[in-house]
């Protein structure tokens, strides 16, 4: 059974993408990073591999999706509070991200989202499972 997830994302400018995510508070594992790829640590078991587009192409025979025009994936991360959701989205916007949907409050779940510099969509959500409708 799998114990870790590595989401692979093509990026146009690796250093620019690294600076963006470092600005959001993420770190990178240098053991799995070089001039073609950077291993962003999301948690102890979740990682995003930011791969330059030419390097990404070595893993697939399909065309690379332009995430600014088409949605290839929604990356959803949990947050510890509603304030953490808002703080992360505000910081992402300050660093050049775009907001593609307004915040949504479902009572038991609060979510907001942004698209990173390459158009990849990130959803952040705070969930109070004790308030979930039965």
Domains for the chain: give ranges and CATH numbers. Answer: 1-61 (3.10.180.10), 71-134 (3.10.180.10)
Rg (the chain; Cα; Å): 16
- pLDDT category at 67 given cuts 50, 70, 90 is very high
Instruction: State how far the Cα of 65 lies from the Cα of 69, in Å rounded to an integer.
Output: 8
The whole model's pTM is what? 0.90
Mean pLDDT in residue range 25-54? 97
Q: Tens digit of pLDDT for each residue in 3-37?
A: 999 999 999 999 999 999 999 999 999 999 999 99
The Cα–Cα gap between 115 and 70 comes to 12
């Amino acid at each position: 059974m799998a114990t870790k997830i590595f989401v692979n994302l093509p990026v146009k400018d690796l250093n620019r993408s690294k600076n963006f995510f470092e600005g959001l508070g993420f770190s990178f594992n240098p053991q799995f990073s070089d001039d073609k790829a950077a291993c962003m640590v999301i948690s102890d078991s979740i990682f995003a591999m930011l791969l330059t587009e030419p390097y990404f192409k070595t893993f697939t025979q399909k065309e690379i999706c332009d995430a600014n025009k088409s949605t290839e994936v929604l990356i959803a991360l949990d947050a510890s509070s509603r304030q953490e959701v808002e703080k992360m989205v505000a910081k992402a916007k300050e660093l050049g991200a775009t907001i593609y949907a307004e915040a949504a409050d479902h009572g038991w779940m609060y979510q907001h989202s942004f698209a990173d510099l390459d158009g990849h969509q990130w959803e952040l959500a705070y969930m109070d499972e004790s308030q979930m409708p039965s």
